[in-house]
Amino acid sequence: MQQLSDQLGLSRKTLYNHFPGGKRGIWMSCVEREMLDFSDRLSLIVEDHESDYVDRGGRILDIGQEAVDLSNGAEGFISPGEKSPQE
């Protein structure tokens, strides 16, 4: 947390005020942002009526693999069924 606060030019207290869960809260915020990005990307694929089904299916699988890699990343911080910070 000290390294992050130094990089951002914030005090650790300010950082903890924004992310009371500390490192885990920051991680969850990042995951949530990425999941919203995945959702937007999936919507674009579903709405793409110009590409064939095989291409679209492959792109959907790629996004799914990215999501799995993210959820299993950095020391397995995210557990199946874990709620987002807002819940």
Cβ count near 28 (within 10 Å): 19
pLDDT bucket at 80, cuts 50 / 70 / 90:
low
Residue 56: C-alpha distances to residues 39, 40, 84 (Å): 14, 14, 29
Domain span at 66: 2-76
Q: Amino acid identity of 29?
A: S
Does residue 87 fall inside a structural domain? no
Asked whether the predicted pLDDT for residue 72 surpasses 80, the reply is: no
Question: Confidence class of residue 81 from pLDDT cuts 50, 70 and 90?
Answer: low
CB atoms within 10 A of CB 12: 13
Q: Give the Cβ contact number of residue 66 at 10 Å.
A: 14
Q: Count of domains in the chain?
A: 1
In tens, the pLDDT along 25-37 reads 888 888 788 888 9
Among candidate residues 4, 6, 70, the one with its CA nearest the CA of residue 35? 70
The whole-model pTM stands at 0.59
53 within domain boundaries: yes
pLDDT digits (tens, 9 = 90+) for 40-50: 999 999 999 99
